[in-house]
Amino acid sequence: MTNNATKPKLFKGSDLNVNPSQICNQALSIVRRLSTKKFSAYLVGGAVRDLILKIEPKDFDIVTDATPTQIKKIFLSSKIIGRRFQIVHVQQDKKIFEVSTFQSKEMIEETWRVGNSKKIVQNTERFFDGKLSIIKEDAFRRDLSINALYYDPLEDKIIDFTDGVADLNKKHLRILGSPGNRFREDPVRILRVIRVSAKLGFTIPPKIEKQIKKKLNLLKDVSKARLFDEILKTFLLGYGLNALKVMKEFNGLNIFIYDNPSRIRSKNTAKLYDILLASTDLRVRQKKYVSPHFLFAVLLWPSLMEEISKVNNKKFTVRKTLEIASRKLFDKESLLVSIPKRYVFKILDMWRMHLQLLMPNPKRVDAMLKHRSFRSAYDFILIREAVGEELQNLGAWWTEIQNYVGSDHENGIHKKNLKKASYLLDTEFYN
């Protein structure tokens, strides 16, 4: 299939079982507002794909023939992001929507040459004199055929230049253009392919799989902050366990977390991650809150244990040892993601509380139960015991304490015969 020879296939959304009620009102409002200003606007990408598959979309991206500057003038609560390839974040009712301008070869070349939106505005008529043509160019610059579908919710019209609808029906993943070249242009596309495969249950074809293995190391050149965002998208949207299984085929978790293949292949670590992501997926399905800091606290736990084992100073308290080890962990160049400071603080807080729960002092039970990190630290005990670690049945112990506090005997908590438990950290567990 070639770009020049392709004519679009047009579908009615209703013919593809698109349910308009699954489109959020804020996204519709943005499309409608652009339309009233005489601009074309479409839902694009994963949202359209999911609507056709009868999956309720979580995010709605919008593409238009309005330039970034024009978009910003229309929506006062908006912000232009990026330099070479600008997008606009439009805020509607505290939600952020990504609104981008159709990408064409001419526009990309002009953007690279000029580097600002003013020149783009001046040349708008030249870029958009043929709107169907510009949509085609934009479509073939996307990653997967099933992500290159354009939906006009006002006219219930779907435009398909890439046979994306046919690929959806065949459960076929197809990269537009050469997989190697597309991954080289933007290595994050590797992660998008993995996520789509995990979410939809589509098998990654051998040709793409081969290029993922060859180009996986390019992810090390992606900014650490961007990789952090990609981890959240991969593991916190309800299909994290499936994504992990796909990543294992490429040993991709090393790229995400920590450059130590031997530990990632550890059976105990593998089970820890499986249980973590299975419980996270369950919380997403139950529409419960999932915490980024809890995810990273557990993912980094094996690495923390390794750093603790290197401290080798028996004079240090447990807290001191933890502080030294965690500082070394977060300072390591082999930590391939940049975790925002607000999450680092919460991770450290959870680890400290977790270690306290492993050595409970009856005189401090009340204070620990009221601590902001108690719940996450307690949940981690349950996960570690589910892995098979011997923690002196502390999960049941803390469960009993919470039940007792919630009973009519709350005021008598210190009268309960609490046996002080102790637990020595087995720093060799993950070796």
If we measure between CA atoms, which residue out of 23, 66, 36 comes closest to residue 153? 23
Query: The tokens of 106 are what?
Result: 């001419």
- Identity of residue 318: V
61 a catalytic residue:
yes
Q: Cα dihedral angle (258, 261, 246, 267), rounded to 10 degrees?
A: -110
Of 61, 65, 138, 163, the catalytic one is 61
**Full DSSP string of 181-226:** HHHHH-THHHHHHHHHHHHH-PPPPHHHHHHHHHHGGGGGGS-HHH
Q: How far is CA 75 from CA 26, 79, 99, 403, in A?
A: 12, 9, 11, 51
Q: Cα dihedral angle (217, 221, 225, 229), rounded to 10 degrees?
A: -40
143 a catalytic residue:
yes
Q: How far, in Å, CA of 302 to CA of 429, rounded?
A: 9
The sign of the dihedral angle between the CA atoms of 207, 209, 213, 218 is positive
Q: How far, in Å, CA of 132 to CA of 66, rounded?
A: 14
Of 50, 65, 138, 143, the catalytic one is 143
Q: How far, in Å, CA of 221 to CA of 262, rounded?
A: 22
Helices (H) and strands (E) in the chain, counts: 23, 8
Secondary structure (3-state) at 159: strand
Q: How far is CA 34 from CA 90, 201, 275, 354, in A?
A: 12, 35, 45, 51
Q: For the chain, what's the residue count?
A: 431
Contact 41, 203 (CB under 8 A): no
H-helix or E-strand containing 321?
A: helix 318-331
Question: Could you tell me which residues are beta bridge partners of residue 81?
Answer: 87
Which residues are designated catalytic? 59, 61, 143
